[in-house]
Amino acid sequence: MNRRNRAEEVFNDIVDTIKDKQKDIGGVVNEYTSNSTQKPAMDLIEDTEFIAVITDLPGVNKEDIKIDLTEGTLEITAKFNEEPNGKNFVRKERKYGKVNRIISLPAKIKLNETSAVFENGVLTIVLTKQTSNKSYEVKVD
């Protein structure tokens, strides 16, 4: 065997090894990302009086949504229906399990003036902004 043929053979072996490793790495990355907590798509809209948060949660039941709120943050947690067992998937792209999203709000809000509606897989939360910053004068003794 001449040197050129041997060099081509070694090069082809290296390329084949790299391709095999890429497949292995792709499988590991896919498995890792499919098991991690997903972040649902979200829009945040602000005007002078309100903040609206619109979140896509297709396939979620209303009773599986939890909203935690402070004056400056919003956390949405939702659980998708459990993955069907015993199914022979030919292709599997839909996610199952839990999604979670925490955002900092662009303004302080009134906690007791918040509403949430879940319709057609879309969660809409309307938050009333605090309109004034209360101040308190401290007297110096």
pLDDT tens-place values along the chain, 141 residues long: 677 788 888 888 888 888 777 767 766 665 555 555 568 889 999 999 999 999 999 889 999 999 999 888 899 999 887 666 777 877 777 777 888 889 999 988 888 889 999 999 999 999 999 876 666 677 787
47 and 95 inside one domain = yes
**CB neighbours of 35 closer than 8 A, spacing ≥ 6?**
97
Specify the pLDDT at position 29.
Answer: 65
Please compute, for residue 79, the number of CA atoms within 13 A of its CA located in the half-sphere on the CB side.
6
Specify the pLDDT at position 10.
Answer: 84
55 and 66 inside one domain = yes
Please compute, for residue 131, the number of CA atoms within 13 A of its CA located in the half-sphere on the CB side.
5
26 and 76 inside one domain = no
Specify the pLDDT at position 15.
Answer: 81
Q: Are 103 and 44 in contact (CB under 8 A)?
A: yes
Domain of 96, CATH number, reads 2.60.40.790
Asked if residue 135 is part of any domain, the answer here is no
- Rounded alpha-carbon distances, angstroms, from residue 113 to 50, 66, 69, 107, 109: 10, 17, 11, 14, 8
Specify the pLDDT at position 140.
Answer: 84
Asked if residue 137 is part of any domain, the answer here is no
Question: Structural domain tally of the chain?
Answer: 2
